Every structure is written in C-alpha cells, then in structure tokens.
Structure 1
Amino acid sequence: MPLLTLLLPAGERLAGIALPASLAKALGRADEVGAEPGEQAQLSRHFRLLPDRWPHAALTRATDAGLDDARSAGWLRADPAYIRPDINGARLLATGAPLSMSVQDVEALLPALRPLFGDAGFLLDAPHPTRWYLRLPRETQLPDFPAPDQVLGEDVFDHMPDGPQARRWRTLLSETQVTLHNHPRNEARARAGLVPVNSLWFWGGGVLPDSATSKAMTVFSDDPVLHGLAGVGTFNAMPLTDFTDFESLTHNAVIDLRALRDPKALLERWLLPAQAAAAHAHVAFDLVDGRVFHLQPNQRWRFWRKPRTALTA
C-alpha cells in the first residue's frame, strides 16, 4: 500500500471554509499525531540528510547551477532585500521573489557589489534573479544566519549574527547597504513603482550534503531546495504541474503544497481527491503547524467518531 504524503500549510489557511462531509468524516476517523511545528521540522520528517544539516544555499545552488557546481564549494545565500527604517529600528519587509527582480536589476547591481565581497575572498553571483550566492571555501566558519521567513516584519537588529565571525559579516552588510543606497538603479525601480533593493540577506550557509534518503520515491514540488536535494538523494523530484492524479500513484510519494495560496483550490484539487485515495492507500496530511493526520482504508469502520469540522487546531 503506497504512502502518499501531502505537505500542507498551517490549518488556518482553510479557516472559514466548511469541510465537505466526506472529508470531515475521514478526518474525524483518522489518526492524528502531534509533531514539531515549523517548515524545517516538517521537511525533516520526510527527508534524512547526511550530515544532518539543511544547507539551503548549497541545495538551491544545485538546482540553479548544477550538482557539480554545488559540490565545488561552500555556499551562502545573499538574497536581494528591502529593509525599511522606522522609529523603532529597521524592518525586513521583502526578499527574493516579492521584489520583482529583473535581469536588468541584476546586471546593474551585481557589478557594484562584487568588489566588496571579492576583497573578502568571496565570489558573488546570481544564476537566478532572486537567488544570489556567495561562493566560499568549504571550511569557512559562518555565524548562525536566520532564514528570511523568520525575520520578515521584524527589526533586523534583533537578528544580527553573534559569535567570533559576526563582526566581519556586519561590516560587509553595512558596506553593501551604503553601495545599494547610492545606486542609480534604485531610482529607476522607484520610477517603476518598485521598492528599492537596499540590502542583502545572508542565510542558509553550508556545503552540499553527502546523501539524502526518504521513504518517497517521487517528490512533486516547485521548491528549489527539494529539487536540489534530489540530486544527492534516493528519490526523484518533479514539478508540481507534472502531478496527474492520486489513483495512478502506486509507490510512495510526497506532494508539496506548502506554497499554495488559494484555500478553495487546495481543498477541491488536492485534499478531496487525496481523501478519496485513502480507500486504497495510506494518505498523510502533514501540516506545517505540527499536526499530521493519517488516513487509511481500515478507518472506515470507526463510525462512532464524530466528523472533524475544521483543520484548525
């Protein structure tokens, strides 16, 4: 019996939407397991890396520039960012895709920044407009940089790195911000109604893992991290658009739906068909808020259990 795992956003994404009777009944009869909340913990439930670290920069580098390139060095993401000063400090409001970075933005900004990092012994490049990288010697010791989604909306000074290596990176960040603040490309972005690129955000440092394993044979996802992980893993990664239907899956698979924003589409296109597939498969709904529902064929006899009216905690 195949194990079909749906990686889902928090249950609050479906708040206010009534669950159809069949899904409410199936969830009421399912086995619910508590798990560690958070996206990183969610991924770690299904993928095992050796060494047991998640170097996001190296993994996305494998997607953006190839496995051989990713294996050749250590990596640190240095993503374009918009930080807005306010009376209480400075808040990180956007990184990556929300900045609507164009090829022209990259071609204008990257040459101005490269000398700053070249003097420090690091090469800055951007194989993807919203994913920028610093190539590092593999043995480089890095501070603990938080991921952007841990900082968005908060004062960046509360998340500056500590430790013996931190001073060097604080200086590089300060020099970067001065260079970007004075760059004419940001004037062009302002005329186009876009926010300035006035900083970089360092995060996800490390080297590519030696191996990765999973119970799944196939992962359907648009996450470049998981596509990079498949390069060193025992599974295949396919775009989410390559998914056809649950009935055709005869082997273990992970379907990554974390990025979906339309709750109605999430319910109708994915959850209801997955619930129907539980008649012949083990289906797991793994929510990022730390709850996992296991739906299996033999649960249909649990007729005494009440339907679950919502996926919220």
Structure 2
Amino acid sequence: MATATLLLPTRARLAGQRLPDEVARALGRADRQTLDAGEREQLRRHFRLVPDHWPVAALTRQLDAGDAEGATWLRADPARVSPDMNGARMLAYGEALALDAEDTAQLLPALKPLFGDAGVLLDAPQPSRWYLRLPPDARLPAFAPIGDVLGDDLFAHLPEGDDGRRWRALLTEAQIVLHNHPWNARRVAAGKAPVNSLWFWGGGRLPQSVGTRFRQVKGQDTLLRALALAAGVTAEGEGGAVDALIDLRHLRQPEVFARDALQPLLAALARGELLALELDFEDGERFTLRRDQRWRFWRRPLARLDGAAAGLTA
C-alpha cells in the first residue's frame, strides 16, 4: 500500500484561518515531530546524497544540460541589486527577472571574456540559470544560497577569506560590465528590471549517487526535479500504487490547502487506499497520519496549523 508525503511551506503561511472540522480532528490525532527547519533540511529528509554535500549547481546543470559529469559547477545567476545606505540589496533574481534567450544572447558575450581570463567557462542553458564550469579539483569558498541573500545586504553574504577574494573581485567586475551594458538600458525602457549583478552559489561536483524511498515525485521546483532525476525517479512513477512525494510549497491559501490537498487524501486514507499521509512543513514540523489514529478520540482537534500539540479532550 502506498504512502503520500506533502512538501509544504512554513505553517505560518497556511495558518490564516480555522481548519475544517474533519482536518482539525485528523491533525489533532496525528503523530508529530519537530525537525530541522529550512528548504535544504526539508529536502535532505527525503533525498540521500553520497557524498553527503549539497551541490545545487551540479544537480541542476545535469537537469538543464545533461553534462555535469567530470567538472565542478557554480551557479552564477543573474540578479538585480539596488544601492542603499549600507551597501547594495538584492531585489530579484532568476525567473523573477523574466529573462529570455535574447537577454542571454546580449549579456553573456560581454561577461564571457571576464570569466575566460579567470579560467572558467560561463554559459546559460536556461535564461534564468547561469553556470560556471570549473576544473574537477577546483577549490571553492562557502557561498551563501541565493534565497538567503534576497532582500538583504549583498555584502553581508560575500564569500570570506583568501579563497573568497577572487570571487569578490569577479563579482565586482561583473557588476561593472552589466551596469555599463546598453542592453540594460533597453530593458529599463521596456519596463523591465535591469540585470546588474550575478550571484555565485551552489558550488560542487555531481554526487556519486542520490537515493530516495519515493518512486514518484511531483512538482515544478527545479532543485526537486534535479534530485528526482539523479535518483532515477519520474513524475509518473511506476505502475500501480507507489510512495509519492508531492511538492505543495507554493501554496499560500489555507482554504485551498485544506479543501484541495488534505481532504481528498484524508478520504483516501479512510478508505484504506493510503497506508500513511505525511505533512512535512518547511519550519520543521511534521505530521504523520494513519487510518488507525481515528481511535484517538481523546485528543483535541487542532483548530489552527500553528497551534500547540494536541492533548486530552476537555
């Protein structure tokens, strides 16, 4: 019998109203755990990488171009930054910039000589995901994930130390090239945000192996798809009932979560079509629901997702 696991955003994003009675009872009777919070930790609960590192650039490169073997990869994603009193703040990156093939055709040729002189190759198999190819034994500093930098001061996240000096210099030079590029003036005139910076992150080599217990992974997130590809799992899965991982981290409406996601799965659980249903929230809270929990009638319903753990009924 199959299980279903839902990847969900933090509970605070879905806790705007009272849960329907059926859902509140089921969650109040569920098993709960508090695990590590964060996007990376959430995904690591479901995918095992050997060696145990997190080379986002190599994984997504394999998804985008299929040529990640035999090199170290670093994302060099296009970004928009704006100066403020304390330095510069990242306002947008990647898909939020609405880049297309013409943008990369105009901007990349101006940047390639800069990186070529540094001994690395820059290219963009996808307009919103740019990559640097480095030798397999390249030594990289620690880079901050781009999601951690969004909305924050760029300089607070720059790579540190002697290993980071080279990359800080390359970032500054790339910003100068992009700031002076006439294509950005055309983007601004067309009502689009300029591409005036890059962000280096996700460095590493392709893992030797990626494993997961799931035989079906559904979702549009790029990293999730890359992990599923590396693990040999598809969105369709195998024939028959299989353990499935379903990405719903994009949800923001509590009523949609309860009505369209949870209630049909709770009905399948009640009919015996699911062995277990797991809700994995990005803030680290995990609910595990099983059919036999219906006998836990002494537990209070969970009126709100961000409520305390269920106790005895009054």
Partner of 1:5: 5
Query: In the alignment, residue 237 of structure 1 is paired with which amino acid?
Result: T
SS of the equivalent of 1:174 reads: helix
Partner of 2:234: 237
2-structure distance, mates of 1:113, 1:99: 18
Alignment of 1:97-116 (within 5 A): 97-116=95-114
Which of residues 251, 263, 268 is equivalent to 1:260?
A: 251
Aligned residues: 303
Tell me whether 1:307 sits opposite 2:301 in the alignment.
yes
Please report how far the alpha carbon of residue 261 of structure 1 lies from its aligned counterpart in structure 2 after TM superposition. 4.0
SS of the equivalent of 2:161 reads: coil
**RMSD over equivalenced CA pairs, Å:** 1.6
Unmatched runs of 5 consecutive residues or more in structure 1: none
Moved more, 273-282 or 193-202: 273-282
Please report how far the alpha carbon of residue 263 of structure 1 lies from its aligned counterpart in structure 2 after TM superposition. 4.0
Please report how far the alpha carbon of residue 299 of structure 1 lies from its aligned counterpart in structure 2 after TM superposition. 0.1
Residues 59 and 224 in structure 1, CA contact (< 8 A), matched pair in contact too: no
Query: In the alignment, residue 44 of structure 1 is paired with which amino acid?
Result: R
SS of the equivalent of 1:18 reads: coil
SS of the equivalent of 1:80 reads: strand
Partner of 1:88: 86
2-structure distance, mates of 1:295, 1:231: 28
1-structure distance, mates of 2:14, 2:240: 26
Give deviations 1:169-214, integer Å, cap 9, x for gaps: 0110010000000001111111111111100010000011011111
Partner of 2:135: 137
Partner of 1:251: 242
Please report how far the alpha carbon of residue 271 of structure 1 lies from its aligned counterpart in structure 2 after TM superposition. 1.8
Please report how far the alpha carbon of residue 116 of structure 1 lies from its aligned counterpart in structure 2 after TM superposition. 0.3
Unmatched runs of 5 consecutive residues or more in structure 2: 308-314
Tell me whether 1:294 sits opposite 2:288 in the alignment.
yes
Query: In the alignment, residue 290 of structure 1 is paired with which amino acid?
Result: G
2-structure distance, mates of 1:19, 1:44: 29
Query: In the alignment, residue 62 of structure 1 is paired with which amino acid?
Result: Q
Query: In the alignment, residue 43 of structure 1 is paired with which amino acid?
Result: L
Moved more, 75-84 or 252-261: 252-261
TM-score (norm 1): 0.93
Please report how far the alpha carbon of residue 5 of structure 1 lies from its aligned counterpart in structure 2 after TM superposition. 0.6
Partner of 1:31: 31
Question: CA distance change for structure 1 residues 221 and 193 in 2, over 3 Å: closer, same or farther?
Answer: same
TM-score (norm 2): 0.92
Moved more, 148-157 or 202-211: 148-157
Query: In the alignment, residue 297 of structure 1 is paired with which amino acid?
Result: R
Q: What percent identity do the matched residue pairs reach?
A: 53
Question: CA distance change for structure 1 residues 51 and 123 in 2, over 3 Å: closer, same or farther?
Answer: same
Which of residues 107, 115, 123 is equivalent to 2:121?
A: 123
Partner of 1:271: 262
Query: In the alignment, residue 84 of structure 1 is paired with which amino acid?
Result: S
1-structure distance, mates of 2:3, 2:191: 47
Partner of 1:158: 156
Residues 80 and 92 in structure 2, CA contact (< 8 A), matched pair in contact too: yes
Query: In the alignment, residue 127 of structure 1 is paired with which amino acid?
Result: P
